[in-house]
Structure 1
Amino acid sequence: MATVFTKIINGELPGRFVYRDDKVAAFLTIEPVAYGHTLVVPIKEIDKWTDIEPELWAQCNDVAQKVGSAIIASFGSERAGYLIAGFEVPHAHIHVFPANDMSGYSLATVMKMDETDPAQMDAAAEKIRAALEAQGVDTGVETDNL
């Protein structure tokens, strides 16, 4: 059975994509620790990050690093947090988020979906896409289809 991430990637569920290629997608999480909290996910459904083949894992990390730089530029955070947990959805993913301290590393502090402002979520995705494009990254996201 397809994971929720596969359903987002396949367009069966809505997603605020900031990056996509044929192997990796990056989209905002619906329960962020801060606006801009992005998930970097292999397109291929793999449960544990330790099971991802090295070339694909390297590509996921490359995308996560670019997204992290875009998050710092977009939100003025000191750093971009990077976290792998993987218990909530059985599809490997990297959490990348604005970080000024260690609080974002506790996923117990997330804003629930009904606590987020959809306009701020949309704006966060647009800021990250624009910052990626400013880095020279082809995001692969067609914004007129969002």
Structure 2
Amino acid sequence: MSTLFTKIVRGEIPAYKVAENSKFLAFLDIRPNAKGHVLCIPKKEIDKIWDLEAEMYQELMRFTRCVAIALEKTVSCKRVGMAVVGLEVPHTHVHLIPLNEMGDMDFSNNVEMSDEEFKELAASIGSKVDL
């Protein structure tokens, strides 16, 4: 059975896409810890990050770096934090979270955003991604 993220890759489920190339996709988390919380995933369904081939892992990190730089240019924050947890969806994903304090990394905290806010933020971050 396909994961939620594979369904997003296939276009079966909508997402607020930030950046995309032939191997990777970045989109806004719909339950964000902070405004601008982005998920970066390989399009290929692989459960654990350590199961990625070394080259694909490095490519995912390069892709994630480009998105993080764009995110930092878009959302006012002290840093962009990165986390790999992987318990919610069995598909490798890297969380990029704008941080102003350590509590922003607490996954039990979520901010509310409207559909319009998600769309505008995704477009704004995406316009600054230099892949």
The answer, yes or no, to whether TM exceeds 0.5 is yes
The percentage of aligned residue pairs carrying the same residue is 35
Summarize the alignment of residues 105-116 of structure 1 with structure 2, pairs less than 5 Å apart: 105-111=105-111, 115-116=112-113
Matches of 2:76 and 2:105 in 1, distance apart?
Answer: 18
Q: 2:86 aligned with 1:72, yes or no?
A: no
Which residue does 1:130 correspond to in 2? 127
Q: Unaligned 5+ residue runs, structure 1?
A: 139-146
Q: Tell me which residue corresponds to 1:96.
A: 96
User: Deviations 1:73-122 (Å, cap 9, x if unpaired)?
Assistant: 101211111011000000010000211111121111123xxx32111111
Contact 1:35 1:120 in 2 (8 A): no
The question of whether the paired residues in 1 share the 8 Å contact of 2:16 and 2:28 is answered with yes
In structure 2, the partner of 1:117 is 114
Counterparts of 1:91 and 1:82 in 2: how far apart (Å)?
A: 16
Q: Secondary structure at the match of 1:109?
A: coil
Q: Distance in 1 between matches of 2:35 and 2:9?
A: 20
Q: Partners of 2:125 and 2:55 in 1: how far apart?
A: 25
How many residue pairs get aligned? The number is 131
SS at match of 1:45: coil
Runs of 4+, deviation exceeding 2 Å: none
Residue of structure 2 in register with 1:84 after alignment:
84
Provide structure 2 residue ranges, at least 5 long, that are not aligned to the other structure. none
- Structure-1 separation of matches of 2:120 and 2:12: 22
Q: Provide the residue aligned with 2:30 in structure 1.
A: 30
SS at match of 2:25: strand
For residue 128 of structure 1, what is the amino acid of its counterpart?
I
The structure with more helix, counted as a fraction of residues: 1
Q: Partner residue of 2:42? A: 42
Q: Secondary structure at the match of 2:122?
A: helix
